[in-house]
Amino acid sequence: MKSYSITRRLITTVLVIELVSALCVAAVAWIYERHAHFHAFDVLLLGRADSMLGAVQDAEDANDNVMLDGTETNVPPDDVYEVADASGRILGRSSNWQGSAASVLKERGPREPHGPGHESFYETEIQGRAYRVIRLQGLRIVDPGDRGGGVRRYVTIYYGSSVKRVWGAVIRSVSFYAISSLLVLACTGILMTWLLKRGLAPLHQLAASASRVSVTSWSFNPPQEARKARELAPLVAALEVLLGGLQLSFEQQRRFVGDAAHELKTSVAVVKSSLQLLSMKERSAKGYQAGLERCLTDCERMESIVAQMLTLARLEEEIKSETAATPTEIFRCLEDVVLELQAIAEMKGVSIQTHGEPSLMASIEAEQFKLLCTNLLMNALQHSPAESVIAVEFKREGSKIEMTIRDRGEGIAAEDIPYIFDRFSRSDLSRNRKTGGTGLGLAICKASVDRVGGTIAILSEVNAGTTVVVQLPVANSVTVRA
């Protein structure tokens, strides 16, 4: 999979947004500047056309005609104009105007004026250059003191100027906006690169701190800047929890392997010593048989340790998936377990009493529940004195079924209870040659209960007895791990 940079993506995204914004600003500036400059240009054309109207004077002839006084006109060299009276007689025209203004503008689609005092604008080409032309109709009164107010003479004025300078001004204004936007864009890119590099420094420091963690060094010291950042604080907490759990898991695994190796090494050493003892001298058939029986007992103990280790590994692996457990009649399963252990109980002189609702159904598979009850009852039998009673009680507590097992054995010291469910726990009083325990029974019980989403707890007092409380989910009330 191809890698990518979040920083680069963020910078690119912001720059693209700014670029689109700059283009929008340039487009708006183009529209506004074009409108503003051409509006000012139209006002200029109107003013110059008015000045041309002021240059129209009385011709002082018998017909009271008007004429264009050239001394009153001040026209820039590139501008064009034409002045005509109502009859179409040309009163004056610039030298660079070729042909009649009316004919030239008609070819371009003229817009007729709305009456005296009104103007129209045209776009045309003169000598290969673009011009904007105003058409203005004006009124001149000849001899206003005579004949009852004078003679009215209408004139039509065409005045045009090149739009090259206007477009140049528009382009310069828009270019200013565009160049300014590009400069802002470049500064933003540089500033964002610096700010993001500085802002992401705690993340890089956190990654560097996490990369130093290994199976031989679990020291994780995240930088304070990462703890202070609201966005990184959850990541720091998650890493601390994750690494703490991994460290605990590795330590448990290392301790488990060490304890298992110690257990198996002890059993192998016992078998080896027994065989060496048999080979040291000749013995009777009965002596050889007793020695072989001791070896067989130790082999069976090793086999039991390996079997329980495999059972525990399977249970812990199955916790990772989730399926619905098969409902089990726990009371009937308990009776089967009690029946199987009856011979051992009679040999120990201990009785097992059960109480509870026979119809209770728990979300746990029957074989696992039997294994759970067998391990717990075997512990209770091994540490209960003769003539004592082991009481097993079932009751429903909401969505849970609570099973309580009480014995009157030697109990467990308070300082050992927190470690009682550890594999090969040294506090497990059944872990000795007398009882034949392996130190894995309670660990298997814990794994079985965790697998279905239940809980298990032990309350004990030395020389007063032990109480085990197991809570299992009621059948069909939850989806449990399997």
Residue 458 has pLDDT above 60, yes or no: yes
Does a structural domain hold residue 295?
Answer: yes
| Mean pLDDT of the residues in the chain | 81
Which pLDDT belongs to residue 368?
84
- Domain endpoint, select from 318, 340, 367: 318
Rounded Cα–Cα distance for residues 343 and 354 (Å): 17
Instruction: Give the DSSP H/E element, type plus range, for residue 232.
Output: none
Q: Are residues 314 and 338 in the same domain?
A: no
Kindly report, residue by residue over 271-310, the tens digit of the pLDDT: 788 788 778 888 888 888 888 887 887 787 777 777 777 7
Q: What is the total residue count of the chain?
A: 482
DSSP string covering 137-178, please?
A: EEEEEESTTSTTT-EEEEEEEEEEEESHHHHHHHHHHHHHHH
Q: Residue 160 belongs to what domain range?
A: 7-171
Does a structural domain hold residue 298?
Answer: yes
Overall average pLDDT of the 428-446 stretch:
61
Q: What percent of the chain has pLDDT over 90?
A: 16
Q: Are residues 314 and 335 in the same domain?
A: no
Q: Are residues 56 and 134 in the same domain?
A: yes
Which pLDDT belongs to residue 171?
93
Overall average pLDDT of the 436-460 stretch:
82
Kindly report, residue by residue over 146-201, the tens digit of the pLDDT: 555 567 888 888 999 999 999 999 999 999 989 998 899 899 889 988 888 888 88
Does a structural domain hold residue 112?
Answer: yes
Kindly report, residue by residue over 93-119, the tens digit of the pLDDT: 888 777 777 666 755 544 444 334 467
- Domain endpoint, select from 303, 318, 333: 318
Does a structural domain hold residue 186?
Answer: no
Q: Are residues 158 and 227 in the same domain?
A: no
Does a structural domain hold residue 198?
Answer: no
Which pLDDT belongs to residue 441?
78
Q: Are residues 313 and 326 in the same domain?
A: no
Model confidence at 240, pLDDT cuts 50, 70, 90, reads confident
Total tally of structural domains belonging to the chain: 3
Q: Are residues 157 and 241 in the same domain?
A: no
pLDDT higher for 37 or 432? 37
Q: Are residues 268 and 411 in the same domain?
A: no
Q: Are residues 313 and 336 in the same domain?
A: no
Q: Are residues 245 and 376 in the same domain?
A: no
Does a structural domain hold residue 36?
Answer: yes
Kindly report, residue by residue over 344-365, the tens digit of the pLDDT: 888 889 999 998 888 888 888 8
Q: Are residues 48 and 133 in the same domain?
A: yes
Contacts of 94 (CB under 8 A, 6+ apart): 75, 79, 80, 81, 82
Which pLDDT belongs to residue 431?
43
Q: Are residues 256 and 336 in the same domain?
A: no
pLDDT higher for 421 or 32? 32
Does a structural domain hold residue 179?
Answer: no
- Domain endpoint, select from 318, 345, 370: 318
In 3D, which of 124, 118, 112, 111 has the Cα closest to residue 136? 118
Does a structural domain hold residue 478?
Answer: no
Overall average pLDDT of the 222-244 stretch:
85
Which pLDDT belongs to residue 415?
85
Helices 164-199 and 6-54: crossing angle in degrees, nearest 10, is 160
Rounded Cα–Cα distance for residues 199 and 229 (Å): 10
Task: Say whether pTM exceeds 0.75.
Answer: no
Beta carbons of 371 and 448 less than 8 angstroms apart: yes
DSSP string covering 343-402, please?
A: HHHHHHT-EEEEES-TT-EEES-HHHHHHHHHHHHHHHHHTPPTT-EEEEEEEEETTEEE
Estimate the share of the chain in helix, then strand, then coil, as percent rounded to the nearest 5.
50, 20, 30
Residue 145 has pLDDT above 70, yes or no: no
Q: Are residues 46 and 163 in the same domain?
A: yes
Residue 381 has pLDDT above 50, yes or no: yes
Residue entry with tokens 């300082």: 415
Instruction: Give the DSSP H/E element, type plus range, for residue 132.
Output: strand 129-142
